[in-house]
Structure 1
Amino acid sequence: MLFQTLLSALMLLILPAAAQFQFFEQMFNQGGPQQQQPQNAGSDSGAYQQNYENTHCDKYLCPQTLSCVHFPHHCPCAWPAVEDKVEFGDGSMACVSKGGFKAGEAARKIELARKGLL
């Protein structure tokens, strides 16, 4: 009985000290949970293909953004902050890098290229 009492008293002294050390280890990021470094994406297109196949669309599924739209030329650009959308007369479209400082500069350059002037 005396042994159990001494053991209990000893545990009451040891446990708070252990918890305190654990707190300081985590505070200084030693022994605490380590953050995972981001991994490079794989070079195969398997993840994209799986997302494409699992996306439900009863109209037209845009291959660039997986948006569901009525017509191909309604597809949005994936990066509208840096891309301009250019629609062609045949119902198709393309997203091209913004060119210049004026709005519509990319479309103007594409039209000049179509005419053979650029």
Structure 2
Amino acid sequence: MIPRLSLTLLLLAPLLVAAQFGQFFEHMFQGGGGGGGAGAGQQQRGGRQDSNNVPSNSDWYRRNFDEATCNKYLCPGTLACVDKPTHCPCPFPNTEEKFELHPDGKAICVSKSGKVKGLTARKVELARKGLL
């Protein structure tokens, strides 16, 4: 009885995996995860990239960086104009916290650690001390 059940589960396992992760793999290898062809992240229309998609190179960023007007410090991650680098905002403030790294005078943005208040700050402090 047990070998028959094991054999049945072994035969059904690929179907269960396909049902669970099928769309993930389909998206990964066809619709948006890289690779070549017109269906892999870039829809081609007459040899041009679909205007709804951002280019896959850094031209868009460089163009916006070059066109940004700032007489102080231009933050490379957000293109915000601030007084000094440590004043740069995090690109995703809803999910990131900013920490200044003294004595460097630099700042980093770190993903928030769930709902426990202060956990991210504790992890950053442990990392500063080389304990994490």
TM-score norm. by structure 2 comes to 0.57
Answer 1 or 2: higher relative contact order, Cα 8 Å, separation at least 6: 1
Structure 2 CA distance, aligned partners of 1:74 and 1:113? 22
Q: How does 1:96-111 map to 2 (within 5 A)?
A: 96-111=110-125
1:107: how far off? 2.3
Choose from 54, 60, 71 the match for 1:41. Answer: 54
Q: Deviations over 1:93-118 (max 9, x none)?
A: 01111113223322221110121221
- Equivalent position of 1:66 in the other structure: 79
Structure 1 CA distance, aligned partners of 2:67 and 2:74? 11
Structure 1's unaligned 5+ residue stretches are 1-36
* Contact kept in structure 1, 2:54 and 2:60, CA below 8 Å: no
Structure 2 CA distance, aligned partners of 1:87 and 1:117? 18
1:79: how far off? 0.7
Structure 1 CA distance, aligned partners of 2:75 and 2:101? 16
AA paired with 1:113? Answer: A
1:113 aligns with 2:127: yes
Q: How does 1:67-86 map to 2 (within 5 A)?
A: 67-86=80-99
Following TM superposition, where does structure 1 have runs of at least 4 consecutive aligned residues deviating by more than 4 angstroms?
none
Q: Number of aligned pairs? A: 82
Structure 2's unaligned 5+ residue stretches are 1-49
AA paired with 2:121? Answer: A
Q: CA RMSD in A?
A: 1.7
Structure 2 CA distance, aligned partners of 1:68 and 1:91? 17
